[in-house]
Amino acid sequence: MEFSVVQHDPECAARSAVLTTAHGTVDTPAFMPVGTMGTVKGIAPDELQGLGFGLMLSNAYHLYLRPGYRVIQEQGGLHRFTGWPGSMLTDSGGFQLVSLAALRTVTDDGITFQSHLDGSKHHWTPELCMAIQMALGADIMMALDECPASSCSQTQAHAAVVRTTQWAKRCVLASHGCSQALFGIVQGALDADLRRQAACELVEIGFDGYAIGGLSLGEEKPALFAMVEASVAELPRSHPCYLMGVGLPEDLVEGVMRGVDLFDCVIPSRHGRTGWLFTNRGRILIKQAHYAKDESPIDEQCGCHVCQKYSRSYLRHLYVSNEMLGVRLNTIHNLWYYQTLMTTMRSAIQSGKFLSFRRRFYEQRRDCPRSAAYAVLMEAGHRSWSVGAHKRKDC
């Protein structure tokens, strides 16, 4: 993997870059659609590529359980198995410490899971985590981490950082000689000092890129971005920075302003399945009755195939009739919106006008209560964030 910074915005930490893997180049800041089981629900790989995405995320833990990483390896790896031609990042399974908390135990050696599929037990070590991701053939692998709940105690957060650092060292040793890239994950819950400590420890170990994990777990937005700022400040500017599991369009804008290069989240596809559609003026819920006779597109400013061809009225009909086409069209639109948002942010960075873009982004949403409240909250936080505070160290 190679990572080359193209342009820095002069007024904030936003930057554009190019990430290159064996399966192509990705312009950053970039959003990765989540294909947990090797597929973004309802969307074929060529459709995803046609929407402009060059990097997708899959989950090593879930693929380990079904169909099994050896099955995928025997069939030529994850790219050939799924038919996805672009770059692939595999999550390590550490997040399942939170999402499947009732089915696991954690020790210094690793994580013991009880399968949510059949109840069988599996011991997940850093070494096994690396073996699985290497067998899958991911372009970018994630080190195994302990992801504590945001409500954990300071003692629990500290223990998770210590364990994550030790597991990170074991992941590096286990993947020695491998040509695939490896990212370390910064933990620390909502403790800024722990976040800074964790980031510096990972930089000392040395990784191809760095991720910020353990956020977007129910904490308030100012706390989330305070942890991003604390983490980013200690990470080397020469390497990609990835904010895991985040988020809403507003989250992406705020993350990019603070120096984040990569994002992933299930929101565009999950919201498509639940009828929430993103527009330049905020979200709409397509099942609402007042769209029953609305002949306008989802978003008149959108250039996606769905907005060019279908009305809100038709999409509402599909959704309330439980037609699978409705879910697919909703998801395609949301993914297009996310990709267009990232493209627009890259252009704003390259012209040195990211903060002007950010201001317009919120102005368009002033009639959307949620986005308006978000803008007020983030602007209050941004006023206390000095221009010099965004500069990252070359650790």
Our measurement of the distance from residue 166's CA atom to the centroid of its chain's CA atoms, rounded to an integer in Å, reads: 24
Catalytic residue among 9, 91, 191, 251: 91
Start-to-end C-alpha separation, the chain? 20
Q: Which of 257, 277, 258 minimizes the C-alpha distance to 345?
A: 257
Tell me the chain's radius of gyration from C-alpha atoms: 21
Q: How many CB atoms lie within 10 A of CB 318?
A: 20
Residue 269 contacts by C-beta under 8 Å, 6 or more apart in sequence?
Answer: 33, 34, 40, 41, 42, 43, 331, 334, 335
> Is there a catalytic annotation at residue 91?
yes
The first and second tokens of residue 163, run together, are 């364990």
> Is there a catalytic annotation at residue 264?
yes
- Length of the chain as a residue count: 395
CA distance 285 to 108: 45
Catalytic residue among 139, 191, 261, 264: 264
Active site residues: 91, 264
